[in-house]
Chains A and B, each alone.
Chain A
């Protein structure tokens, strides 16, 4: 069965800290995504990656960067955490060869609190 694993369920960080959110998938998927989920706003795409070392900005990339050194791992980086980045972060993957209407596979999320 498809599995997307996010390393932390809950994180509490201080303003200004550098924060790493890690995501690993075991399906050999090319495409990986980082979304943030906020009440009333749904899911908004931060960044996605369609291959190792390749990345594209999503709808809300400001304040974030990403790293994809290996196919199975996609990291989201908050260079200097701020309180408005307190949110639920969801990682997802999607495979080449899948049709355009194949589903995304999501991790269980990381709830980040920045104090």
Chain B
């Protein structure tokens, strides 16, 4: 079946460090891929997405490239800020299914220290 695997957290970085959060997936067909972010005390919100192979999603300085050959969608940011401290979820949807149902990874907690 479809699944998403994220790197274990928590990830602790100093401000302005480079961030990578790994995400790999297993899916049949051609899923769309998403990164959602959950700030403390809030629900999830969409950070970025990619709908086909080699697409790059980007938002707020974060980027992720849909790599079909490695079934990966790693999240990167060149210089993190304290305000980026949050839980990050990788997710996929089945492109052929028009329901909004997503499969989420386990989440990775990022803590950025000043």
| A4 interface residue (CB < 8 Å to B) | yes
Does residue B25 face the partner (Cβ distance < 8 Å to A)?
no
Q: Answer yes or no: B73 CB below 8 A from chain A CBs.
A: no
Which listed residue (B32, B43, B46, B99) contacts A109, Cβ 8 A?
Answer: B43
Partner-A contacts on B (CB < 8 A): 4, 6, 32, 34, 36, 41-46, 49, 51, 89, 93-102, 104-107
Cross-chain contact A42 with B100 (CB below 8 angstroms): no
Binding site for B on A (CB under 8 A): 4, 31, 33, 35, 37, 39-45, 48, 50, 90, 92, 94, 98-104, 106-109
Q: Could you say which residues of chain B place their CB within 8 Å of the CB of A94?
A: 99-100
Q: A101 touching B49 by the CB < 8 A rule?
A: yes
- Asked whether, in the complex, the Cβ of A101 is within 8 Å of the Cβ of B43, the reply is no
B contact patch SS: loop
A11 CB to closest chain B CB, in angstroms?
Answer: 16
- Known contacts A40-B106, A42-B105; A104 and B44 CB within 8 A of each other: yes
Interchain CB contact under 8 A, A31 and B100:
yes
- B100: contacting residue among A33, A40, A107, A109, CB under 8 A: A33
Q: Which 3 residue pairs of A and B lie closest in terms of their CB atoms, listed nearest first?
A: A94-B100, A106-B43, A103-B46
Q: Is the CB of B42 within 8 A of A45?
A: no
Q: Is the CB of A42 within 8 A of B101?
A: no
A87 CB, min distance to chain B CBs, angstroms = 14
Cβ of B96: which chain A residues have Cβ within 8 Å of it? Answer: 100
Write out the residue numbers on chain A whose beta carbons fall within 8 Å of the beta carbon of B49: 101, 103
Contact of B51 among A40, A101, A103 (CB under 8 A): A101
Chain A residues near B101: list those with CB within 8 A. 33, 45, 48
In the complex, A98 Cα to B49 Cα: how many Å? 15
